[in-house]
Amino acid sequence: MTFKILSCDGGGIRGLITALLIQDLDRRSGIIAKADGFAGTSTGGLIALGLARGVSIAEIVDVYKTKGSEIFQENKAWTEQKEALENRVALAGPGLFACQYVSTGLEKVARELVGDGNLASLSRFVVVNSARLWDAAARSWVPSAISNAKSNAYRNISLIDAALATSAAPAYFPPHEIAELGYFADGGVFANNPSVTAISEALASGLPDSQGNLRMLSLGTGMSPQGIPPSAIGDPLGWGVSKWLWPWASGSVPARALFSLTLDTTSMLAAQQSEQILGGDYRRGNFVLGQPIGLDDWKKVAEMENETNVYMKSQEWQGVCQWVEQNWQ
């Protein structure tokens, strides 16, 4: 029997794109009820945990459409910093000397989605990524696949801890502390696309009886149309912190280039690796956005919805829908 996992990328408020794609596929093929497991990173982790708990996709879509201002509540220290720098940071996104947002609103919305239970209480498999900032045994920070698989070290943590650990985007939100385990940061720093993590965790846990019986549908949050053209490099020796982490765009170099590069390329690499591992049993749905949309650009939900509707009329999306019809039974 096949074991089917729905995998959801990170991307902040762009999780609306993933949720809309899931909603379309669920109307067509009932993919949520047929899924055996869910995987997610960051905002995708919130979606995965919500779906595993039985929250309707309509409710999840509504969260992204209506709760952006509640999720992204500015940190007072960041506001003071912004004013001190004559509002330049306001154009740039996450804080230089303080995280841009408090986690109060994020926690409230996340709790509405995932409730007060723990991971082990969920009946379907779920895995989310997070970076543990200190592991005493390893004497280092470590990547963490947080799942409800029987052998997983984190299976008894609360759903809200899992949700906040996977979505604590560095410089946007503060690191999240889990009692007795320490602090965690957003899993997007190493696996913004959780496909490979989910494949590994599912196989290691013996959930599909063989790799040949594993199916995965991976959905992105839209790719920003950005990169660094050769003409923008200038002197390569000049590419230090001030170039890679400059907090606002400079010419054709995007703001926080290293951060965006990490998120985008880890997502692309995971898709390539998953396809190499699973072949035709892996399918990816994603598209290039018409404009850059930041993780916290909640005022652009209408633009995201419009772009997603256009993508859902494309031949590429019809191919994804056909794959689901043939492989998601």
Give catalytic residue positions: 42, 186
Distance of alpha carbon 178 from alpha carbon 158, whole angstroms: 9
Q: Which two tokens stand for residue 251?
A: 């010419």
For residue 188, the SS3 value is helix
Number of helices and strands in the chain (H, E): 14, 10
Residue 169, class by beta-carbon neighbours within 10 Å (0-12 exposed, 13-18 middle, 19+ buried)?
Answer: buried
β-pairing, 3-8 vs 214-219, is parallel
- Give phi and psi for 53, each to the nearest 5: -80, -15
As a whole number of angstroms, the longest Cα–Cα distance in the chain is 60
Instruction: Give one DSSP letter per residue of 80-132, joined into a string.
Output: HHHHHTTTTGGGT-S-SSS-SEESHHHHHHHHHHH-S-BGGG-SSEEEEEEEE
Answer whether 161's CB lies under 8 Å from 176's CB. Answer: yes
- Give phi and psi for 182, each to the nearest 5: 95, -155
Answer whether 30's CB lies under 8 Å from 201's CB. Answer: no
For residue 231, the SS3 value is helix
Distance of alpha carbon 29 from alpha carbon 25, whole angstroms: 6
DSSP 235: -
| Coarse DSSP helix, strand, coil percentages of the chain, rounded to the nearest 5 percent | 50, 20, 35
Q: Which two tokens stand for residue 33?
A: 């009820």
